[in-house]
Amino acid sequence: MNLVSKILLGTVGTVAGYLTVTAGAYLPFVIYDAKIGHRDSCDYLLILGGQVNGAETPSAHLLERINAAADYLKENTECFVIPCGGCFREEQKKSEALIIKEHLIKAGIDENRFILEDKSTTTFENFENAFEIIKNHSGKNPNDSSIAFLSSDYHLRRAGIIAKRCGFEKIGKVSCENKKGRLRNYAREYIVAYELLKKDKR
């Protein structure tokens, strides 16, 4: 084996080892958060968007979030609701935020409670845009308000880290039970751990 091959193999081994250690240390926290069943109270609830099929049909996991949000909002009647997610897929005709809002109104949630965040394409943008929306709506620093976000249970740990990187010093969580594809989603969280744990949030 020549020197170049040895260096290449050594580099690949180092990177693979680093990924294994960092992701392996992160994944137990993902599973722990998923099992808690978070249901924090808040003044503003962010509902993180998800896949839309075709023009305006929520995917199974987005529908899970919508149903979980409906249950929560019927019990917590005073908080404002910020559905998150834009319209950025080729066949999509409505934003994720609008789709979430429409389904929740059909479920009996008062239309006057909603403030749409309908420009984002990533979880980072969800929180960045929502931070400004809350600031403008409340007239004060969002960290002086009680804020929580709702997402699928496997996504809570990662989204919580992202929220802090986007300026939320403290943020509650509302868990949506992921009923299908749990192992696949845990595997995805393992894979994305390296990118998440890098210092550069992008």
CATH code of the domain in which 134 resides:
3.40.50.620
Query: In this model, does residue 123 exceed pLDDT 80?
Result: yes
Residue 95 included in any domain: yes
Residue 103: domain span? 38-178
Residue 42 included in any domain: yes
For the chain, how many structural domains are there in total? 1
Compute the average pLDDT of residues 78-93.
Answer: 95
Say if CB 85 and CB 49 are below 8 A apart: yes
Residue count of the chain: 202
End-to-end CA distance of the chain, in Å?
Answer: 38
What's the pLDDT at 7? 45
Say if CB 127 and CB 164 are below 8 A apart: no
Query: In this model, does residue 76 exceed pLDDT 60?
Result: yes
Pair of tokens at residue 151: 């997402």
CA 50 – CA 146 distance, rounded (Å): 24
Residue 2 included in any domain: no
Query: In this model, does residue 185 exceed pLDDT 90?
Result: no
Compute the average pLDDT of residues 160-174.
Answer: 96
- What integer best gives the mean pLDDT of the chain? 87
